[in-house]
Structure 1
Amino acid sequence: MAVQLNHTIVAAHDKWASAQFLTEILGLTPPRSAGVFVAVQLDNDVTLDFAEPGADHIRCQHLAFLVSEDDFDAAFARIRERELMYWADPRQRFPGEINTHDGGRGVYFLDPNGHALELITRPYGSGESA
């Protein structure tokens, strides 16, 4: 059997808010209750299980999503409609910009719990340098 990522847990003070935010930005099926988790199903059979943390502090997680050019356009339009801050880089040095790494496009933004979300249209190392 090939090894595949099945799910990962994402800590969130408000698991429904974070899960709903992600599905709305990415145009995914609405989240569903899954026991103590709120599950977001991705198209590659990976589930993000949002859960309330055992402590007050949540460590920022970085979640990167490979999307098509059309899906990038749609998600980026939603980011701009909501007037969310976005950056071309993970260190937030280039606000209001996107990147063109590997001949594609990429953008970083934050979810309601401060997790760093990234959208890319080309996998890293797959093409031209920006």
Structure 2
Amino acid sequence: MSEVLSQMNEHRSVRVFKPDPVADALIEEILEGARKAPTSHHLQPYSVIRVKGPAKRRRLAELAGGQQYVAPASVFLIDYYKHHMLANRYETPLHLQEIDNLLVGALDTGIIAENALLAAQSKGLGRK
């Protein structure tokens, strides 16, 4: 079995993180791999927001419905802004193309998130 398939088969969801800082260079390497994710319409409809400060992560945990694993993580990556902007832009009923773009954006964001996860795990992050 290939190294990548082994890594994929060993995946487990992790909700407890070490407080150790993650080097900026490592995060950039992970994000570079994540950006290689395929997209449906060549839109790259995502934006990655890096939440570093503990106070901001605590507030984010509250806003995310009390997700306790968010606050103690040394760094947290989120994507929300572009979807938030799209949702606010279309306060009237959406046309079919607009719905398609919103769905494509959500799916493409999931694909880049999976690439980021695999890249981080390949570097030993997210393992107990």
State the TM-score, normalized to the length of structure 1. 0.27
Higher strand share: 1
**Which of these two proteins has the greater Rg computed from alpha carbons?**
2
Q: TM-score, normalised on structure 2?
A: 0.27
Higher relative contact order (CA 8 A, sep 6+): 2
Which one has a larger percent helix, Structure 1 or Structure 2?
2
